[in-house]
Structure 1
Amino acid sequence: MSETETTPAAWRVVVVDDHAMFRSGVKHDIGGRVQLVGEGEDVPTAVAAILAAMPDVVLLDVHLPGGGGIEVIKQVTATEPSMKFLALSVSDAAEDVIGVIRAGARGYVTKSISADELVEAIGRVATGDAVFSPRLAGFVLDAFSGAIDVASIDEDLDRLSVREREVLRLIARGYAYKEIAKELFISIKTVETHVSSVLRKLQLSNRHQLTRWATDRKLV
């Protein structure tokens, strides 16, 4: 067996994230230890890059313009069902973890992961293992055990846009509208619009009910 087949640098990786600075950071941190063969910033560019490069592993953000990481997985696996995805996200919400794993990702780690841990996770996913940050593994086990009503989560959350889900999580965590606006780089008026839309779609009346809804489903 040759050296290129046994070293971490053998793994060919596409990085998908809508923040250029984060993609640059990943390339800087692990670029000398894996082969970075492409990148994408939204669903269309991600799908095109993945199908062109045919990497061993796709590092995939969950929240992307154009439909999110789940849509990337759906489009790619429609023609390349064996493609391996490792979700790399700032989100540690149960619905994001469960949704992307159900779509076909082989693992899910948060962006607090170290470069060494990320390289190791890439190698494990490339060789067929499943990899999860410790806390997130519990969500997957809960989903399989029935502790989380996955069907209910999917049905309700499918009504919400990616941005509405982000606002929902922050509201449920106790953020004020001004804090949400700063966190998501949007105006307070836009936050108010998203909250009204979430309440309407989930048939809830106020912020207290929304928080309880999210907490009951372990989305916080």
Structure 2
Amino acid sequence: MTGTEEAVGAGQGRTARVVLVDDHRMFRTGVRAEIGETARTGIDVVGEADDVEQAVQVVTATRPDVVLLDVHLPGGGGVEVLRRCAPLMTEGADGAGAVRFLALSVSDAAEDVIGVIRGGARGYVTKTITGADLVAAVFRVSDGDAVFSPRLAGFVLDAFAATDTPPVDEDLDRLTQREREVLRLIARGYAYKEIAKQLFISVKTVESHVSAVLRKLQLSNRHELTRWATARRLV
């Protein structure tokens, strides 16, 4: 993200209470520094979390206007957070407003986008978004609008325009969200070090994910894995 250029919310006398959910502390710190100055942006960061369990606890306790939610999280991913927080997405009997979720992720994969939207998120933007645009997106989602990075909206339109539910891929369903991301990057020809850098994880962790993917899919090497991913149009 680049610098916030103008006070989107504060200039209109508005505020939005936000929770940041991402398993990378440095990224959360960067987002907070970028958008979290209430007097300048109107954004009040009221909590942070780095895994599913903590996210559910913080969101339940703070009932923010908007949750900025990463797709890939320890404990089941963003979809699991959405599933467990589903009761908070409608106005509570105590008069508390609905909590709205905006996915903020490095992934631009169609299955990630569609998964969190089906789970109840109001939008999906990638981490290349500018600070000013992210502030604007938060207020739009708080108002009930749907917000997407430009090319991602097409994934959602295509998915929900389909008249038939796509068949369940039992092999793909065996993989976690993080394993799918590693699989996709391996199939695109990325080296382990490149994958580690892009996903903010260690090379050893990448190796562990690749081993798990090969075992679950009963494949022998990355060449077979690439053919498998290409056949399913995951590349």
Structure 2 equivalent of residue 60 of structure 1 = 69
SS in 2 for 1:160: coil
Q: Is the 8 A contact 1:51 1:76 kept in 2?
A: yes
Identify, as 1 or 2, the structure richer in helix.
1
* Counterpart mapping for 1:80-99 below 5 A: 80-82=88-90, 83-99=99-115
Cα distance in structure 2, aligned partners of 1:119 and 1:179: 30
Instruction: Supply the AA of the counterpart residue of 1:31.
Output: G
- 1:200 deviation in Å? 4.0
SS in 2 for 1:55: coil
Instruction: Supply the AA of the counterpart residue of 1:80.
Output: L
Q: What is the RMSD of the two structures over their aligned residues, measured on CA atoms?
A: 2.7
Structure 2 equivalent of residue 70 of structure 1 = 79
- 1:135 deviation in Å? 1.2
Cα distance in structure 1, aligned partners of 2:10 and 2:130: 24
Give the TM-score normalised by the residue count of structure 1.
Answer: 0.84
2:137 paired with 1:132: no
- 1:95 deviation in Å? 1.4
Structure 1 equivalent of residue 134 of structure 2 = 118
Cα distance in structure 2, aligned partners of 1:50 and 1:133: 24
Question: Quick one: percent identity of the two aligned structures?
Answer: 65
Larger deviation: 190-199 or 36-45?
A: 190-199
2:34 paired with 1:29: yes
Distance 1:61 1:191, change over 3 A: closer
Instruction: Supply the AA of the counterpart residue of 1:60.
Output: L
- Structure 2, unaligned runs of 5 or more: 1-8, 91-98
Q: Is the 8 A contact 2:52 2:76 kept in 1?
A: yes
- 1:35 deviation in Å? 1.3
Distance 1:130 1:218, change over 3 A: farther
Q: Which structure has more RCO (C-alpha within 8 Å, separation ≥ 6)?
A: 2
SS in 2 for 1:85: strand
- Structure 1, unaligned runs of 5 or more: none
Structure 1 equivalent of residue 15 of structure 2 = 10
Q: For 1:54-103, what per-residue CA distance to the aligned partner results, in whole angstroms no more than 9, with x for missing partners?
A: 011100001111111111111111x3132210000011111111111111
Distance 1:199 1:116, change over 3 A: same
Distance 1:12 1:158, change over 3 A: same
Q: Is the 8 A contact 2:124 2:148 kept in 1?
A: yes
